[in-house]
Amino acid sequence: MTPIELEIGMGRAHFLFERAAVQPNHQIIGIEYKARWVEQALRKQQREQIYNITPLHGHAWEIVPQLFKPDCLSLIILNFPDPWWKKRHKKRRVLNEPFLNLLVSLLRPGGQFFFQSDVLELFEVYQVLLESKLTKLPCDKNPLGAKSHREKKCEEAGLPIYRTLLYK
């Protein structure tokens, strides 16, 4: 069966395209609620005839419950997810306990969850949440062979990036 991967908040979709190139036999789905990034990704996909990605427009909380069956995802990726890292914006953060419960139920046993951020405060909150549901693996660098736009910008600027890799 084709491994299915899900990137939540794909932004400019750099990760999605690079991951598609390193894992040509995987199907990689990206969800993004800014329409222009999705339209841009769809145009690039058509131009370059890339068949193993599916960029989707919408809110992850609405799309994910409709799209997947339990135990069907091999990898979930959350790259630099939120501009909403301040405490007063907590309600807008993409990862909360109910949504993570759903995501964990969609991961197949052994499936992995990769999360990275340059915002330490947010990273620490999400790390505690993730480690309460999943088992941590060693991870000092991005192991996925693909980089997001924000990741490249942080590296260019010499900013620290906090990462965690876990499995079900």
Ligand X SMILES: C[S@@+](CC[C@H](N)C(=O)[O-])C[C@H]1O[C@@H](n2cnc3c(N)ncnc32)[C@H](O)[C@@H]1O
The residues assigned a catalytic role are 82
Q: Which is nearer to ligand X, 10 or 107 (CB)?
A: 10
CB of 38 to ligand X, least distance (A): 9
Q: Is the dihedral of CA 55, 57, 61, 63 positive or negative?
A: negative
Asked if residue 30 binds ligand X (CB under 6 A), the reply is no
Amino acid at the residue 35? A
Q: Which is nearer to ligand X, 22 or 135 (CB)?
A: 22
C-alpha to C-alpha distances, 128 to 55, 59, 94, 114, 122, nearest whole angstrom: 29, 24, 15, 14, 10
Q: Which of residues 136-155 bind ligand X (CB under 6 A)?
A: 148-151
Q: Closer to ligand X at the Cβ: 124 or 135?
A: 124
Q: Per-residue x/- marks for ligand X, 65-94, CB under 6 A?
A: --------------xxx-x----------x
- Return the residues of window 89-108 that contact ligand X according to CB under 6 A: 94
Where is 74: in which H helix or E strand? Answer: strand 73-79
Residues 6+ apart with CB under 8 A from 72: 4, 106, 108
